[in-house]
A and B are shown apart, each in its own frame.
Chain A
Amino acid sequence: MLLRDPFTKALHDARRSLVGWAVAIVAVGTMYAAFWPTMQTPEMTKALEAYPEGLLEAFNYSDLTSAAGYLGSAVYGLLVPLLVAVFAIAAGARAVAGDEEAGTLDLVLAHPVGRVRLALLRFAAVAAGVVLVTVLLGLALLALRGPAQLDSITLGGFAAMTLHLALFGLAFAALAFAAGAATGRRAVALGAGAGVAVLGYLANSVFPQVEGLRWAQELSPFHWYLGGSPLVDGVQPAGVLLLLGSAALLVAAGTAAFARRDIAV
């Protein structure tokens, strides 16, 4: 029964948005993946060679000569993580701050539900959504593996990439959730998420091109997510731990702040 507790209720309320995001992200991912066979022509290789290297790097297009390089760049390198980040930030911001600003949080908190429990269950629902969407994308790409000539990528590679993407989304969901839970303001939650996403993206793809700013990459969630090419080399423990650790810290801090503060009218 989907109306059983705050976790299932949050999933129930998010069902339309979840379906929409899943369709959008899977569509974008499979569409780009389906282009791979056409990318292997000599004309295309020449055309890409004409682009300045810095520009390609800025779009995370590092290696377009192998299936894994293409998929890691075109699908998992730019559009998909940005879409997942936007989805996760919106969902994280809605979990507490959105509800509070709408004036609908009072009613639930006037019921026998502890604040910590409510916040954690709401975040768990967001996390379940992120995992669902990223796993669906992984399965869709796996299904395309034969038709789109992606056979050189192993099952383990897809699994590792999916894990990295899910944790990447989780970290952004946690950030927006924590900012919203601590302040009760949706704009703060969205701003924090968007700000870190933009800075993180630049720190991973643009700043490292400047000598002396190379260190910035180490601080970027995009680097934790993409660094070490999980599609080829499997799960990268450092990246996984950084994404998971920051998500856990943010959720804990946001929930603690939420439990202590006044609920806004």
Chain B
Amino acid sequence: MAEPAIHTEGLVKTYGRNRGLTGLDLRVEPGEVYGFLGPNGAGKSTTIRLLLDLIRPTAGRVRVLGSDPYRDGVALRRRIGYLAGDFVVDGRQTARELLTYLGNLRGGVPRARIDDLAARLDLDLGRPIRGLSKGNRQKVGVVQAFMHSPELLILDEPTSGLDPFLQHEFLAMVREARADGRTVFMSSHVMSEVQQTADRVGIVREGRMVTVARVEELRERAVRKVEVTFAGPVDAAEFAALPGVSEVHVSGAVLRCRLDGRADALVKAAAGHTVVGLLSEEPDLEELFFGYYSREEATRAAA
């Protein structure tokens, strides 16, 4: 397997009274979108600042794109795009001035590329940043993170403050980046922000990794509500005994139930009848995500 895009082992960061990190093991594979989830103060931003060499680890190992962020920082950061959740810059300059400068720090980004991204996000480059709304300011941040097509995108709570249109566009850009073979590492404190794009999610709590799961697996394990409409009336008893199926209600030709895990048995049983419609709502991964939390809490309390 190729070298991981991000690899930390036993990463510790203590500072002052802040919690920091207490031994973080993180492995992000090249080409994947990795959702880095955890409540505020869990160590997400600390981890990201360590990856960028803004702060230095107390103990442990960090490798980013095969390099040491401290020793090879300048060359490494050329290959990274970074977006902070609260994108703050000197407001007296225009977005165009800032982006041109940041592009020049990277050895120059074609003006057309900046214009394309700005047009896509509907961002006016000519106005001073001071006069932009929070959402528009965040767009400037999105442009600077994506404009040089970096191998690795590090996005800290990227969609906070974005309106739905922009969130949609942003997630499309993340998907395109993955399609191009780039790696995306994005942190969030809400599952719904990452579940649409992430291949895997890692859940961090109190400075260490609690669990890592594939989003597909989470989906598979998730509980969802299913509604099947048949051509004629069906018998509830026929479905009630199926694995993973519970809370079966039949009213005439419509079957409603809860489905836990795979849909296979239910679909095969339904196939014995004429199926007119099938409705399965998107599972709430957030619930599952907090399920992990409470389970982890329980094991720790027991130990």
Contacts and interface: CB of A to CB of B under 8 A. Distances in A.
A4 interface: yes
28 contacts: A1-B104, A3-B100, A4-B104, A5-B104, A6-B105, A13-B90, A13-B92, A102-B90, A103-B88, A106-B49, A106-B52, A107-B84, A107-B89, A108-B102, A108-B105, A109-B52, A109-B54, A110-B52, A110-B54, A110-B80, A111-B77, A112-B75, A112-B105, A113-B105, A114-B73, A262-B15, A263-B55, A265-B49
B289 interface: no
B88 A5 contact: no
A111 B76 CA distance: 9
Contact of A262 (B55, B78, B93, B107): B55
Contacts of A263: 49, 54-55
Nearest to A263: B54
A4 B102 CA distance: 9
A65 interface: no
A114 B92 CA distance: 25
Contacts of A107: 82, 84, 87-89, 102, 144
Given A9-B101, A106-B54, A106-B84, A112 B90 contact: no
Interface in B52-82: 52-56, 73-78, 80, 82
Interface in A108-124: 108-114
* Chain A: interface size category: 20 to 34
A152 interface: no
A104 interface: yes
Given A3-B100, A109-B54, 18 more contacts: A5-B105, A13-B92, A106-B49, A106-B84, A107-B89, A107-B102, A108-B105, A109-B52, A109-B53, A110-B54, A111-B102, A111-B105, A112-B75, A112-B106, A113-B105, A114-B74, A262-B56, A265-B49
Contacts of A108: 102, 105
Contacts of B73: 114
Interface of B: 15, 45, 49, 52-56, 73-78, 80, 82, 84, 86-90, 92-93, 97, 100-102, 104-107, 144
A106 B52 CA distance: 9
Question: What 4 A-B pairs are tightest by C-beta distance, nearest first?
Answer: A262-B55, A112-B78, A110-B82, A3-B101
B77 A110 contact: yes
A263 B54 CA distance: 6
Interface string A87-104: 000000000000000111
Given A112-B77, A262-B15, A104 B54 contact: no
